[in-house]
Structure 1
Amino acid sequence: MHAIRDAITAALRQPDPQRPSQTIGKAKAGIYAFYDYDGEPIYVGQTAEGFGVRLGRHLTGQRSDAVAKYVLDPFEVHTVSMWSLPHIGDMPPRERKAALDPYEYTVYQRLLEGSAFNAILNEGDIPEAVAQELPDPLTCVIIPDGILPDRSHPDIRIARRAQTISLLAKNISERKVSRGLRRALLTQTERLNALARARYQALDGVVEVEGAEGVVDEPEGLFPTP
């Protein structure tokens, strides 16, 4: 975990593409996205208090709502993209969220279009808004090469994903929850099914679908490791 913390710290120390004189970690407002080991987008969020604070809550054990509800497993996060928006960071804090909403919606829609599952794990609905012109993001891998083979192994990922689904389902069964949380459960089960099928096929297994011929096509990006 220390190696991952160091990688996150190094990412936050990189220059802000919009204000190269300062680090991205000092940017006061922006949008961020997480991607898994297949390059699949899994979460989109906004920050009006700084990337360092927000990413820390999600990824370093500080327990954001998404993690506490078992929507997001930090173990799944391989890459982070950050869109710094200095013109919003210069606004008074109370005005930033409303200004960030259209940018969050724009990033969410763009990544949704690129998703093999046409789904992202956000449990909350992002308000529809007019699409905004986005700056180039800063994108960083936060998993060091030394631990990548263990973290990215499909059997480990399958086990983690199954555990996350179990905990999320338990959470749903014990209380009244939003439709978005149930949508996250559905998305996670589809992601688990695709990963397990890809792993089975990588080991010369054949998956047959009733009424279809041949093997089921997998979403692009899933990497079967023998």
Structure 2
Amino acid sequence: MLDQALSEKDTDGRVWGNARFGCYAFYDLDGEVLYVGSASEGLRTRVRRHLTGHRTDAVATRILDVHEVAELELWPIWALEEVGRSDRLRVQNELPGIESAIYRRAVAENQFGPPLNEVTPADMNPATLPPSRRFALLDESIRQERSHPDARLARRAENLARLASTVLERGSANDGMRRALLIQAARFTALAATHLAYVRGLPKPYPAVLDIAGLLDSPEVD
């Protein structure tokens, strides 16, 4: 379904995934934004590197678990399509601003605040987002299979352990990787608590039990 999504056309006949410049967001099985990124070598190329080739740092370090990715949103920046080398400054000014706006929106809307980006997009002046489209990447049978809480917990536990091992191996892992580790651990804990409550026939735990903003003590989640 990824190739189908990247090949869909907008109302002007432009293929969503064929834009040279743009931004994207991956959503998990609960509709939470997992990761936000930008592309300057083509949206299709960048997204596929994450989800099929596994040739990005976010996937290699286990910050991003591709099996949790259920949806994709694309923001192609068609206004930059004909930008030449002499206008690279325009790209450097516009692309980060849009990525930052998408990231900040995700921080505000996500239950657990920041997405799992190792590098936080710079906090820039608010940018007007171009039109976007959100695509499902899993058919219903695969989505149901991957959504089983026990399967997700096992997968997340393995992913969390591998990310922790990466932090250990690197020794001086950067702050962003440790933030991602904390957020992943919180997501794991919340899922485990929610499933336990369901099995016991109890109400879903109140989200404030996990105060991610307080744990991170970060101005971006104020």
Per the TM superposition, whether the score is higher than 0.5 is yes
Q: Which residue of 1 aligns with 2:60?
A: 68
2:198 is matched with which residue: 178, 198, 202? 202
Inter-partner Cα distance in structure 2 for 1:136 and 1:166: 38
For the Cα contact (< 8 Å) 2:97–2:127, is it kept in 1? yes
For the Cα contact (< 8 Å) 1:198–1:218, is it kept in 2? no
Inter-partner Cα distance in structure 1 for 2:143 and 2:62: 23
Inter-partner Cα distance in structure 1 for 2:40 and 2:194: 39
| 2:206 is equivalent to residue 217 of structure 1 | yes
Residues 186, 151 of structure 1: alpha-carbon distance in 2 compared, 3 angstrom cutoff? same
For the Cα contact (< 8 Å) 2:194–2:204, is it kept in 1? no
Shift of 1:61: 3.0
Q: Which residue of 2 aligns with 1:185?
A: 181
Inter-partner Cα distance in structure 2 for 1:146 and 1:97: 41
Residues 120-135 of structure 1: pairs in structure 2 closer than 5 A? 120-135=115-130
| 2:90 is equivalent to residue 84 of structure 1 | no
Shift of 1:128: 1.3
Code of the aligned partner of 1:55: V
Inter-partner Cα distance in structure 2 for 1:119 and 1:62: 22
For the Cα contact (< 8 Å) 2:20–2:39, is it kept in 1? yes
Shift of 1:144: 1.1
Inter-partner Cα distance in structure 2 for 1:35 and 1:151: 14
Q: Which residue of 2 aligns with 1:169?
A: 164
Shift of 1:145: 1.6
| 2:155 is equivalent to residue 160 of structure 1 | yes
**Residues 26-80 of structure 1, C-alpha deviations (whole Å, 9 max, x = no match):** 1111110011011011100000111210111110133211001110010010010
SS of 2:141 mapped into structure 1:
coil
Inter-partner Cα distance in structure 2 for 1:97 and 1:53: 19
Q: Which residue of 1 aligns with 2:133?
A: 138
Code of the aligned partner of 2:123: E
For the Cα contact (< 8 Å) 1:16–1:84, is it kept in 2? no
Code of the aligned partner of 1:50: G
Name structure 1 gaps, 5 residues minimum. Answer: 1-6, 207-213, 220-226
1:30 is matched with which residue: 22, 25, 35? 22
Residues 50, 16 of structure 1: alpha-carbon distance in 2 compared, 3 angstrom cutoff? farther
Shift of 1:131: 0.7
Inter-partner Cα distance in structure 2 for 1:27 and 1:205: 48
For the Cα contact (< 8 Å) 1:16–1:27, is it kept in 2? no
- For normalisation by structure 1, the TM-score amounts to 0.85
Which shifted more, 178-187 or 56-65? Answer: 56-65
Shift of 1:205: 6.2
Shift of 1:174: 1.2
Identical counterparts, % of pairs:
36
Inter-partner Cα distance in structure 2 for 1:16 and 1:119: 29
Shift of 1:9: 0.6
